[in-house]
Amino acid sequence: MRESGTAKGARTSGKKLPPASGAPEAEILELGTEDGLGKFVIQSMPMRDLYRLATQVAGSDATILVYGESGTGKELFARLVHQLSGRRAKPFVPVNCGVLKGELFADKFFGHEAGAFTGAQRQRKGSFELAADGTLFLDEVGEIPAPNQVDFLRVLEEKTFRRLGGEKTQPFDARIVAATNRMLHKMVAAGEFRADLYYRLNVIPVTLPPLRERVDDIPPLAEYFLAMYRHRYHKPDVRLAPATQDALCAYSWPGNVRELRNLTERLVLLCAEPVIEPAHLPLEMRLATGLPAAEYGHGSLTLEAAVRQAEVAAIVRAWAEAGGSKARLADILAVSPRTLRYKLAEYELKLV
């Protein structure tokens, strides 16, 4: 991942993955999470550049706003900055803003005193307090409801807060790393997000590249996930055929690294043979990567098979234009949302 040694506070696992096409060896950077997305497996130049940027900004307290599609590793980047910083021994507190509304939002961030409201039987610390002088990661920050944006901005400006039902003012000294897959400047223009809060968050903007724009990372990522699931499911001999690896590199990965991880687990778990061939890949992936027709259902020539292939291909192509919206997907395909749901279930298509 790095070219001149690992920065203080981050560590490699000691594993080296085989290089692809003569490129430098990929490295694994441990970032303190337990799942497969808790480790950076880096080979491509875009991700090496991203690592260099993280080392540049980690030493400051400036707020970072991370843009990126779902599954690109926005929380992982936040953890990277945290571990490269002087706050590495302090808490890292992630909060998904997309599931919080109204009083639930306030309680999650501010906490409450016992008796602050019905059901508040004991004191509870909120995320502002839990983060202390560490790092507070705000995922899906664009989903913060408008009334709560005011409260959040006040904490950032005054650097203090109070628990719900409390009288004591407490300091807030955590670094903020926010993340979104939405274009916040457009939300500001539309009146959906406060301009003053946007400028408070957008001090250092960072954009994570989607997996399709860093193809060099796909082979080492796939190998890393394979090793992880070979061990988990006690299938030490499972490996990718060269043609399968080529197909993975040719695929657009709308779900990014998370989709690759999930697919790898599925293949290791369900494949009965030691070598994962292109025929083992999901039908929509085979269609999207232009595999020979013989791979679709083992060369079936029935009309039913042809209709299935055509419909799956149409859904896959339309999904690439739908921008992640199933409502938009139904419009493109000129079907009702109900018909779309039926087709996705019939063909077992899990769009992400």
Q: What is the pLDDT of residues 16-63, one digit of tens each?
A: 444 444 444 566 565 655 444 456 666 788 888 888 999 999 999 999
Q: What's residue 302's pLDDT?
A: 66
Per-residue pLDDT band at 5 (split at 50, 70, 90): very low
What is the structure's pLDDT at 293? 45
113-146 pLDDT, tens digit per residue, is: 776 676 666 888 889 999 999 999 999 999 998 8
Report the C-alpha gap between 226 and 223 in whole angstroms.
5
Strands 64-67, 175-180: pairing kind: parallel
d(CA 222, CA 257): 9
Which of residues 319 and 90 earns the better pLDDT score?
90
Our measurement of the distance from residue 269's CA atom to the centroid of its chain's CA atoms, rounded to an integer in Å, reads 23
180 φ, ψ (degrees, to nearest 5): -160, 150
* % of residues, the chain, pLDDT over 90: 44
Q: With 90 as the cut, is the pLDDT of residue 226 above it?
A: yes
pLDDT for 172: 92
The least confident of 60-64, 190-194, 253-257 is 253-257
d(CA 226, CA 217): 14
Q: Which of 3-7, 33-37, 181-185, 251-255 has the lowest mean pLDDT?
A: 3-7
CB atoms within 10 A of CB 274: 10
Predicted pLDDT of residue 295 = 44
What was the pLDDT predicted at 187?
A: 94
pLDDT in tens, 73-86: 899 899 999 999 99
What would the pLDDT profile of 316-335 be if each residue is shown by its tens digit?
Answer: 778 777 877 888 888 889 99
The CATH architecture annotation of domain 59-209 reads 3-Layer(aba) Sandwich (3.40)
Question: Who has greater pLDDT, 274 or 39?
Answer: 274
Closest among 44, 50, 334, 9 to 213, alpha carbons compared: 44
Task: Please say if the pLDDT value at position 177 is more than 90.
Answer: yes
Helix, strand, coil: what percent of the chain each, to 5? 50, 15, 35
User: Does domain 297-352 correspond to CATH entry 1.10.3720.10?
Assistant: no
The predicted-structure confidence for 275-298, as pLDDT tens digits, reads as follows: 999 888 887 788 777 765 444 444
- Domain positions in the chain: 59-209, 297-352
Q: How far is CA 188 from the centre of its chain?
A: 24
